[in-house]
Structure 1
Amino acid sequence: MMAFIEQEANEKAEEIDAKAEEEFNIEKGRLVQQQRLKIMEYYEKKEKQVELQKKIQSSNMLNQARLKVLKVREDHVSNVLDDARKRLGEVTKNEGEYKAVVTKLIVQGLFQVMEPKVTLRCRQVDVSLIRDILPQAVEQYKAQMKQNVDLIIDETNFLSADTCGGVELLALNGRIKVRSTPHYISTPLY
């Protein structure tokens, strides 16, 4: 009888051992799966961070390239404007050519102002030249716009002597101002 009890106890122990090992394997599998998911999530996060860093770096490089292009463009425009100022400064030395340019500037300015009474400012050294061309500029404006304009030279306020020439037109007590000087010319002269 003792052998029977002992055998039954051994079978029960084996059963308990088998069940414990099965539960251990199930728990071990569950823990391994949990850790595997955590590791996968961790590496997915890392992958997303790397992707984001790549996008940020790519965007920064693209912005730097755009800034370089803008800088080159700005330098080119600045060089063109400097060259135009130098050329305009040379034009003022040739009186006939300068008269033609200033006449066009005055007429263009009148088209922009479109007021019946306009005050014109120029450099002090250009006053006599402006007096000579004023009737011609007014006639060109009248012929094209079919309206009169009273154009008066301001002989108290002049453009700065260090400008290369050009004119400034004012109307409505200075509320409308059109500058056609080398620093402000925005429309083609020809």
Structure 2
Amino acid sequence: MQLNASRIKVLQAQDDLVTDMLKSASKELLRISRDHLTYKKLLKTLIVQSLLRLKEPAVLLRCRKEDLQLVDLVLESARNEYANKARNQNNKNTLFVPIT
């Protein structure tokens, strides 16, 4: 019985930490979204990271209505950065076998 109570306390503590982190992240994101220069950089970085993680030939990008103009501004730059990074990642994975 004590073991279960102990596990429940641990799970509750973990849940509390995650909840606090989500609240903190939401507040920070709201603060950053008011600073257009920082937010613009963040959007571009997040778009590039997402494209690199997805590794899909076509992607549908969804954003908040209030971010649409900012996303339009960074989209071409994000595409170019993604293309460069994807090309570099492919080069790193190339295996050269010596001729024998």
Q: TM-score range by the shorter chain?
A: 0.7 to 0.9
Q: Distance in 1 between matches of 2:17 and 2:56?
A: 36
Structure 2 residue aligned with 1:86: 27
1:136 aligns with 2:72: no
Query: Deviation at 1:111?
Result: 1.1
Structure 2 residue aligned with 1:95: 36
Structure 1 residue aligned with 2:97: none
Q: Distance in 1 between matches of 2:18 and 2:60?
A: 31
| SS at 1:118 equivalent | coil
Structure whose alpha-carbon radius of gyration is higher? 1
Unaligned runs of 5+ in 2: 89-100
Structure 2 residue aligned with 1:69: 10
TM superposition outliers: structure 1 runs of 4+ over 2 Å: none
Correspondence for 1:123 among 60, 64, 70: 64
110-119 vs 74-83, which moves further: 110-119
CA RMSD of aligned residues (A): 1.4
Higher relative contact order (CA 8 A, sep 6+): 2
Q: Distance in 1 between matches of 2:81 and 2:57?
A: 15
One-letter amino acid of the counterpart of residue 64, structure 2: R
Aligned residues: 88
| Post-superposition CA distance 1:130-168 (Å, at most 9, x none) | 111011111111001129xxxxxxxxxxxxxxxxxxxxx
| Matching of residues 40-189 of structure 1 within 5 Å | 60-146=1-87
Unaligned runs of 5+ in 1: 1-59, 148-190
TM-score (norm 1): 0.44
Q: Distance in 2 between matches of 1:71 and 1:116?
A: 42
More strand as a share of residues: 1
- Percent identity of paired positions between Structure 1 and Structure 2: 35
